[in-house]
Amino acid sequence: MQITNLYHTMNYSDIDFTVIIPHRDSIGTLQRLFDSIPVSDKIEVILIDNSSTPVTHEDIGIKRNYTLLYSEPSRGAGGARNVGIENAHGKWLLFADADDFFTEDAFETFYSQFHSDAELIYFCIDGIYLDTGEHSDRGDGYTQLVRDFLSGKISEMDIRLSFPSPCAKMVRHELVKRHQIRYDEVPVNNDDYFSLLSGYYAQKIGAVNKIVYIVTVSKGSLTKRRDFNAIQSSFLVILRHNQFLRQHHLSQYQKSVMLSFYYVRHFGIKKIFEFIKLLIKFKQNPLIGCQRWFKTYTLYKKKQDREKKFETY
């Protein structure tokens, strides 16, 4: 269902950027995000609501031009993003989450790269705990990837295959059209495969050492799904991800599956055997990344303890 734009009809013949925003029960944060996007006929903003009860322009209360679309809740954030892609008109696609926002000079930075011959351009991310004003490290890994790539510490393939966030990227619309790249419509990790495919298929990439996006953490904003369906969904995403890498002779970039087994152990031996069957089906080596297991687990526990007060389950 498309909800008609109440303000004015945008001329789609010459759109520079389309900003795609999935939304579910987070109206309170939208004003901050919209305020960080310049008002311009060259910038198309598409908000895709996938709440159980659709919202209207009046509910949102933001007085600027944007397109409001609706996606079935069962399709999740991935489905909402796919609706946005299918209705986008911009030369470049930008993705944002409803509770985050762009930096003050983000679009100045984006326009500095507008005529680049790259098809995918990576930028830096910062994070903040809104409740305390403290720095959050949720964007630090992505920022480090950009800086390590630009300094020559990592290869081009390293950043292409290791930047799963859909945000802080300029994605050329033609790249997505050419390869029909879409988000997985799954409960968790819907952005993983999209980022993998766009990173792999981009004919040329670029990177800019500039923070353009702020990811936020507030009370209850970190939702940790630990039910079996979510764990299995995440596991299947990793298996497909690794299968793609093996098929394209990039086995060295495979992800470890052990964290999925760590979670599923709570559901009993039957569920563990179901995961083992999936390993066999996908011909997945369970020992991938074993040399990093202890370090990864230690870092994971530290982060979990640090963010525990912000999580809901």
pLDDT band at 226 (very low <50, low <70, confident <90, very high): confident
pLDDT in tens, 228-261: 999 999 999 999 999 999 999 999 999 999 889 9
- pLDDT value at residue 25: 81
pLDDT above 70 (res 291): no
Position of tokens 């390993």?
A: 279
What's the whole-number average pLDDT of the chain?
89
Q: What pLDDT score does 175 carry?
A: 98
Q: What is the CATH number of domain 2-218?
A: 3.90.550.10
Closest by CA position to 95, among listed 85, 106, 87: 85
Rounded-to-integer distance, Cα 260 and Cα 85, Å: 30
Q: What is the pLDDT of residues 59-110, one digit of tens each?
A: 999 999 999 999 999 999 999 999 999 999 999 999 999 999 999 999 999 9
% pLDDT > 90, the chain: 75
Residue 287: predicted pLDDT: 86
Give the span between the Cα atoms of 142 and 164, in whole angstroms: 9
- The pLDDT assigned to 297 comes to 57
> Which pLDDT value is given to residue 284?
94
Q: Which residues contact 177 (CB under 8 A, 6 or more apart)?
A: none
Entry pTM: 0.89
**Higher local confidence (pLDDT), 3 or 174:** 174
Residue 293: pLDDT band (50, 70, 90) is low
Residues 26-42, mean pLDDT to the nearest whole number: 93
Q: 28: pLDDT confidence band, cut at 50, 70 and 90?
A: confident
Q: pLDDT at position 2, please?
A: 42
User: Per-residue pLDDT for 11 more than 50?
Assistant: no
Q: Is the dihedral of CA 55, 58, 61, 64 positive or negative?
A: positive
User: Looking at residue 4, what is its pLDDT?
Assistant: 39
Q: What is the DSSP string of 157-172?
A: HHHHHS---SSSEEEE
Closest to 110 in 3D by CA, of 96, 98, 99: 96
- Of 216, 108, 214, nearest to 168 by C-alpha is 214
Phi, psi of 216 (to 5 degrees): -110, 155
Cα(238)–Cα(231) distance, integer angstroms: 11
Residue 307: the pLDDT is 58
In the chain, what are the domain boundaries? 2-218, 228-312
pLDDT at 32 over 90: yes
Side-chain-side CA neighbours of residue 60 (13 Å) = 29
Confidence of residue 313 (pLDDT cuts 50, 70, 90): very low
Confidence of residue 311 (pLDDT cuts 50, 70, 90): low
User: In this predicted structure, what is the pLDDT of residue 220?
Assistant: 52
E strands, the chain, where? 2-3, 17-23, 43-49, 67-70, 92-95, 101-102, 120-129, 169-172, 205-217, 222-223, 311-312
Percent over 70 (pLDDT), the chain = 86
pLDDT in tens, 124-175: 999 999 888 889 999 999 999 999 999 999 999 999 999 999 999 999 999 9
**Residue 234 and residue 242 in contact, taking contact as beta carbons nearer than 8 Å:** no
